Structure formats: C-alpha cells, structure tokens
Amino acid sequence: MNSTPLPASATDWHTLEVENSLELLNSHAETGLSTSDADQRLQVYGTNELQETAGRSPWQILLDQFTNIMLVMLIAVAIISGILDVVKLQQAGGVTEGEIPFKDTIAILAIVVLNGVLGYLQESRAEKALAALKRMASPKVRVLRDSKQMDIAAKDVVPGDIILLEAGVQVAADGRLLEESSLQIRESALTGEAHAVNKQAKIALPEDTPLGDRLNMVFQGTEVVLGRGKVLVTGTGMQTELGRIAAMLQAVESEPTPLQQRMTQLGNILVSGSLVLVAIVILVGLIQSGWNWANFVQLVEVSLSMAVAVVPEGLPAVITVTLALGTQRMVRRNALIRRLPAVETLGSVTNICSDKTGTLTQNKMVVQWVDTLEHKYSITGEGYEPTGEFMNAGQKIDPQSNSQVKTLMFGSVLCNDAILQYEDGQWQVLGDPTEGALLALAGKAGLEQSSLTKQIPRVAEFPFSSERKRMSVICQQSDPNNDGKLENYVMFTKGSPEIILERCQEIHLGEGLEPLTPQLRAQILERNNEMAGRGLRVLGFACNYLAEIPNEGTEETTEQDLIWLGLVGMLDAPRPEVRDAVAKCRKAGIRPMMITGDHQLTAQAIAQDLGIASAGDRVLTGREISKLSQTELEVLVNEVNIYARVAPEHKLRIVQALQKQGKFVAMTGDGVNDAPALKQADIGIAMGITGTDVSKEASDMVLLDDNFATIVAATEEGRVVYTNIRRFIKYILGSNIGEVLTIAAAPIMNLGGIPLSPLQILWMNLVTDGLPALALAMEPPEPDVMERPPFNPKESIFARGLGAYMVRIGIVFAIISIALMWWAYNWTQAPGYTGDRDAWKTMVFTTLCIAQMGHALAIRSNSRLFIELNPFTNPFLLGAVIVTTALQLLLIYVAPLRHFFDTHWLSLEELGICIGFSALMFVWVELEKLFFRFYRRS
C-alpha cells in the first residue's frame, strides 16, 4: 500500500460510504494496514498527539512586570536618589556616625521588587488546558495490522488504521465507522449531549450535519459505554475534533481585564501628571532662586519626593489582597476563582452564555409526563429520587389503581438494565440515565426494583440496537391470569414510539383491551408529537403474553401483535433554583443566554421554562450559524437567546460576536467543546463537579456546586469588590494628590527644606494609606447592589465622579496641609522656640498621616454621614485607624524609629495642633455630603 493524502476537508468523512472511505485511505477492513505502511504514514502525518505552541517563558513574564510605567518611574527615582546620596557622601567625605546611606534607594527598590513579584505570581500560571486535552488521549489502542489484532500506543495510530472498540475504552482518534453492534458512545464532553449516542455505520450523511448528529463517526476523547465497533481512522493529532479545539484554544489571546486596563490608564495619567508638575516646580524654583548647584540639588530632591508621592506604591498590594479576600468570600458561596482579576471583572458582566446540560439542568433525566391516551399524568419530583406524585388535572392519583398504568410501570422496571441505588447521601444510577429515570418513575408509583425482578424474573431478552430502536425482555409471570391471559410469560417492549406503535394491534382502555384503530393510532402519534415539541425525550411502551420462551434471533416475529401501554416523556430537568437566578440576572441588567449542543426543541423548552426566552422566540442552530457571515451573526446575537446543535467553533463565534457588540461576556460550560469559548470569554466559568479538566483549566472561575445560581452570587460579590476598589482608590489617590501639592508648595514658599523625605512618603503610601485601604475593601455590600446595571467595562477609573472627587479632596487636603506647614514653619523658626527647628517637617508628616484617618472614616459612604452608619459593620476600619495612628506616634516618640525615619520629637501642644488640623479633613468630607444631600433635594 502507498500512503495517500487526506481529503482537503477533514470534516467530510461522514458524507462518504464505507467503501469510499476505505478506498480513499487505501486501507482494508479485514486486514488493516501493513506494519511498514503504518510506519511510513507515521512519518508523513506525525504522531497522534496534540501539538503545543510556545508561550511566554517564566523569565519573560517576570521581566514584563517591570515595564509598568509606574514601576519604571520608581526605578528611575531610586537610581537618581542613589546618585544624589553618592554626591552627598563625597561632599561629606564619607558616612557620618549613625547615618544609614542609600536607605531611600533601598526602600524604593524593595517596593519595586515586591510589586514585580506580586504581578508575576498573578500571571505566571502555566497554561494547562492543552495538557488536560492530552490526558484525554487513550494510552493504548487495539488495531488491526497485517491481518492481526495488536495493542499499540495511541500516539502511533495513523490515518488508515483499523481500530477496534468495545465498552469501556476511550476512542483514540477520529474515525469512520465500518461496523457496529449496539454501539453507544458518550460524547457529552465534546458535543454537550446529555445521553450516549447510538452509532450507525451503514449510512452516509449530508455535508452540513452537526457534530452531534454524525452517527457514522467516532471522535477522539469520547468513551464507549455499550457495544462494539470497527473504525477506520480518518484523523489523528491536530487533525481530530479534539485537535481543532486545541488549535482554537491556542489561537485565543488573553485580553487584559477591565481592572488591568484601568490600572494602566491610571498609571499613565499619574506619571504624566507628576512629570509635568516636577518640571513646573523645578522651573519655578530656578526662576525664583536662580541657578546654583545647591538650589538645583534641593529642587531635584523635591522632585524625587513628588515622584514617590504620586505613585501609589501600596495600591497593587491592596488590590491583590482585596481580590484574594473576594475569592475567599466567593469560595464560601461555592465559586472558586482561578485568576484574581476575575473577581472584579464579574461586576461588569452583561451577558451570561450558559451551556444547558449540567449547568441549567440537573444532568439527570427525569420523567415528567406519562400518557396512556385515556389519561395524562404529570409527574413531580427531582433527580433520580424515587419520591413524587402522579398528578391528573391537579389531583393526586394512585398509579396502581389503573391497570394500564400499573402494567406500564412494570415494564419500566423489568425492561431495564440500569440499577438505582442510594449512595453517599444521594440516589445514583448505574447504567443509562434514561433507564435510571424509568426506575425513579416506578419508585414514585410504589414499585421496588429488587423485589419486582425476583417476583417476575427475566428469562430472555432482545437487546436494544440502533437499527431496531427498541428493546424487549421476556419475564416469567408469577400469576398468569393478567387480563384473562393464561400464558406463563409476559414480554415488555420499549423504544421509539413510532416503531413500537407499528407493531401494536391492541390497546389497554379501561379495564380491558380494545383494537388499535387508525383513529387511536393518530391520537397516540399526536400526543407523541406534542411531547417532543416540548423538548421531551419520548419512549413508547407495549407488552404481550407468550406461552413459551422465544428462540434467539426471532425478535422480528415475536415483537408483533403487541398491546400498547402508553408514552413516557422525560427531560433533563432544570435546576429548581435557576429560575430565580435568571430573574435576578434580568433585574441586575444581565442577559442570560443558552448555547448548547442539544436538540433545538429541548433547548427551547428548557429556555422558556427558566425565563431565558419566551414562546415564539427564535432559535439559531449550528447549521444556520455556519451559513452566516460574522457580520450577520453580530447583528443576530442581539436578538437570539437560544443556540442549539452548536459546534465548538460556533460557541467561539457567538462569544466573539457579542464582544464585538461591546458586550462583556461570561461563558459557562463543562465539556471539552466549551474550552475555546471559555478562554475567549471575558469570564470563563467551568463546572466543578461535571466539568472536564480541559474546561476548568481554560476558565477563570469554577462553580463548585455546578449551580447556575452561584454565578449570580459571584456576580454580586464582583460588584461589591469593584465598588470597594473604587472606594479605596478615591481614598489613596485623593491623599496622594494632597501630598504632591504640599511637597510642591514647599520650595515655592521658601521654607528652607523639603517637608517629606522619600522614605516618609513610602511609609505613608504603604502603611498610612495601605491599612485603611484594606479595611475599606471589607466594606459590606450596599442594599441595591443587584438592582443596578452592570459596570461599563470600558469606563475610566475616574468615571462617575471619582476623578472630580479625587482632585477636589486632594486640593482641600493640600490647603489644610500647606496652612499647617506655613504655621508650623513660622512657629518653629520663631526666636523664642526652644525645640528642634526642623520639627515643622514632622508636624507636616504627622498631619498628613492623621488627616487620612479622618478621610478613611468619612469615605465609607458617599451619601450617609459617619454618625448615620453602624461603625461595627466594618470593625476592620476602626482597627486600622487605631493601629495606623499608633504606628505614626511610634515614629515620633520611639528613638530608633525616629532616627531611621528622620522625624523629630513633638510636644503635646504641637501634636494637638496636628490633630486639630487633621480633623478638618473629616469635617470637610462630612459637610460635602450635607451639601450634596441638600442640593439634590432642591
């Protein structure tokens, strides 16, 4: 055999007949490839492994942290400060006793390194999504080569290989089915389907058949749950559906979060503003005092202090800790945050694109309707728990009081291969979820599986197959007098309603049997279509009575002249708490949407039930999306809330279309097929219980309880976090503006020195600002937090009055500090003053620090006065104010600290004056609230 190239499109194999596929790949169904030909193809196509593109190295991630403009400015300040220290040391002839050289430089560089490390820790998480995809590949696979069966490594499988499948194995490559026997494959991780797919080999399908409907294909990473099959390998490695997902994952570029964008904007404005102010101060100083080296050095020192003052060194640490605290609160609400910025980002979500299976639904099939033609019963209860009621016209009905329903319930238990058991505090199904739902239904009717199977034991069966679309069991009757039938055996049959109905001649009506007329058949089919239109999966049930056990292979003749029992309609039922969660989303201005691989009728029924869509709303299918241009899709995403039968690339396109429309998108999912869209979304949310490793690694957040309602709780927490971040940014930057203006005023006022050293400013920015800022991050949520629209992700950090507030408060802060500085300077320079002449600098330092404590207390609320708030709703703030004030006093009155920070002893009178001036800050903010309250009323 010679190697031949694959078809141009790796997605067209489902359109070919078996013989055409074998011919195209030059393979043989009975002999497989020769070893030599397989080796040759391995060289041509490469190994059956997913390829990884190179990402940023750890060193590159670390170096990228120091490109932040604020850190670059601090590095420049540290270098210039070090040079000035060298000049001073040369002029002084060395280090004087007790002096600590370069302490400003060391302190600034320490802060730079700390911020760099914090940034590195946030970004250095290695991408593991591809590794999780790789783990889905089966390590060993059974193939047919040289006419012999052999087990080989999955990575050595090549196109043209014949692989053999059986229950329990994982599919190692994509392939075209050649033969199958009762083959069922669970593809939920890849397609989102809730139940196993019955495969069929002897069919060819249209080109635009969605992935979930390609019954003649198998896909890498899926699992065989029943039967066996023989497969022609058509795609390996990156040419598989799994490989296409891996390629999409690697093609998705991570965008900076709104918070990261806002911090970049903030840094640019602060640095630009500080440079302009530095230039003004130096220019005015030189004009005012003339050029000389000493004057220039002093102006440079002032500039360095201003540069340090303008950079909120503690802000990155405060934000990181705030986000970390937010993650802890979210974990308590069953939401695990994998990337810190996602905490704040949740507050900006405008659209939640949710998968259906296991996210909006319970991922458990639940019988909702039983229809015997005479009666229609709605069934209550949740999950697989066998407790619930049969309801008819709002009244509870005893199902065993109706012989037809009772017989149907017998069939639900006996024509069944699953086991329903109570384990680890919940009811679980061993076997097919559909059959598990039938056992739960029978349990609600008072029938217990183990006792019934002993009473009426199975003696023979005709198993389900994809061709027959039905299953029959023959059981021995304990009382052969049912319905006047004296036969010893009863046969129960279940399957496709249309196929079962074709084989029926009679029907249970009342307490007896009636001929199945064309009119009755039409009524049954109408009921079947009605259930299917609600998105239910419908099974038909029938029975017959036999005198003897039929021989194997006689199913076609035995499964005739059946007695129709009724229809059972089941659904992967919605989670009961999701309806309220959807309503909360809409109230909060968030639009929930469903994007699923399931059938459109099922999706529509669930979406309408949950309030995601209304009756008559349009459903967009994957087939329709494939025919739309991206521009056309961008228009439709504003109108459509339900997307069904979608493939991975469709999910990705939908998310991208929403983002193109300016929406901020959260995408939930649990399967491999969701991973690219999870990564593309602004917030990727994976399921913690049913989610695959791939979906979790591609996500920003994991729902520990797989509960859609948890997203609402996490969104609320995100809004609280962002509100608190804005609160402490107002606090920190308003203070910093006051510091900068105060420092800039000193040389202009000819006060004979700089009031604050870079080290003192670092102390204020890290400790005096930092501790209260962290406490402000603990502020509880406001009552209306989920009754307002999402934060605009594109809004500036200074939006909604924050910028004006910072400038206004900064100016007031500066006026208070400059007034104190002018008074203190004249006080300490007066002829009769007996204290340290430089004490005025410490008074300015202390006033700036303590004034910020008053600001922190007043800023808790934008509208309510401090006395109107319960101080103990945020005890952390009271603690931070007390601790910070005490630390500031230690710098003044503890000798080693006073020496290190270049502070001076203050008398009680001087300290009292500092506290008095500081209190003016608190008074001003409170008066502002009263003014705006009066202004809004008028």
Q: Answer for the pair 74, 57: CB distance below 8 angstroms, yes or no.
A: no
pLDDT band per the 50, 70, 90 thresholds, residue 402: confident
> How does pLDDT run across 526-571, given as a tens digit for each residue?
999 888 888 788 999 999 999 899 988 888 899 999 999 999 999 8
> Residue 136's pLDDT is what?
47
For the chain, residues classed under CATH 2.70.150.10 are 13-52+131-251
pLDDT value at residue 139: 66
Q: What is the pLDDT of residue 2?
A: 43
pLDDT value at 918 more than 90? yes
Phi-psi sector, 509: left (phi>0), alpha (psi -120 to 50), beta: beta
Q: What is the mean pLDDT of the chain?
A: 83
pLDDT of res. 848? 93
pLDDT in the model for residue 91: 66
Which pLDDT score, from 0 to 100, does residue 709 have?
81
pLDDT of 3 higher than 70: no
Span 156-208, pLDDT tens digits? 999 999 999 987 788 889 999 999 887 888 887 677 665 678 888 888 888 88
Q: Is the pLDDT of residue 98 over 60?
A: no
- Residue-wise pLDDT for 382-397, tens only, equals 888 999 999 988 889 8
pLDDT given for residue 508 in this prediction = 83
DSSP characters over 470-500: EEEEEEE-SSTTGGG---SEEEEEEE-HHHH
Q: Where in the chain is the domain with CATH 3.40.50.1000?
A: 335-359+576-714
pLDDT of residue 525: 93
pLDDT beyond 90 at 657? yes
Strands 351-354 and 537-546: unpaired
Mean pLDDT across the stretch 263-279?
Answer: 78
Could you confirm whether domain 335-359+576-714 is CATH 3.40.1390.20?
Answer: no
Write the CA distances from 560 to 283, 493, 498, 769, 770, integer angstroms: 104, 10, 14, 84, 82
Distance CA 692, CA 708 (A): 17
Pairing of strands 174-186, 197-198: antiparallel
Catalytic residue annotation: 355
Q: Tens digits of per-residue pLDDT, 434-460?
A: 899 999 999 999 998 989 999 999 999
User: Which of the residue ranges 307-311, 331-335, 680-684, 893-897 has the most confident prediction, judged by mean pLDDT?
Assistant: 893-897
Q: What is the pLDDT of residue 917?
A: 96
- Give 170's DSSP letter: B
**pLDDT value at 814 more than 70:** yes
Q: Strands, DSSP E only, in 300-430? A: 335-337, 351-354, 361-371, 376-379, 390-392, 395-397, 419-423, 426-430
Residues of the chain with CATH 3.40.1110.10: 368-566
Q: Where are the alpha helices (DSSP H) in 210-314?
A: 241-251, 258-289, 293-310
- Top mean pLDDT of 5-9, 122-126, 430-434 is at 430-434
Q: Which of 465-474, 585-594, 672-681 has maximum average pLDDT?
A: 585-594
Q: Please tell me the class of the 368-566 domain.
A: alpha beta
**Beta carbons of 377 and 745 less than 8 angstroms apart:** no
Q: Which of 244-248, 621-625, 734-738 has the lowest mean pLDDT?
A: 244-248
Q: The whole model's pTM is what?
A: 0.66
pLDDT digits (tens, 9 = 90+) for 737-748: 888 888 888 877
Would you state the pLDDT for residue 611?
92
Please tell me the predicted confidence (pLDDT) of residue 479: 67
* Token pair listed for 130: 């591809």
pLDDT surpasses 60 at 819 = yes
Percentage with pLDDT > 90 across the chain? 32
CA-to-CA distance for 658 and 741, rounded, in angstroms?
A: 45
- Domain 13-52+131-251: which topology? 2.70.150
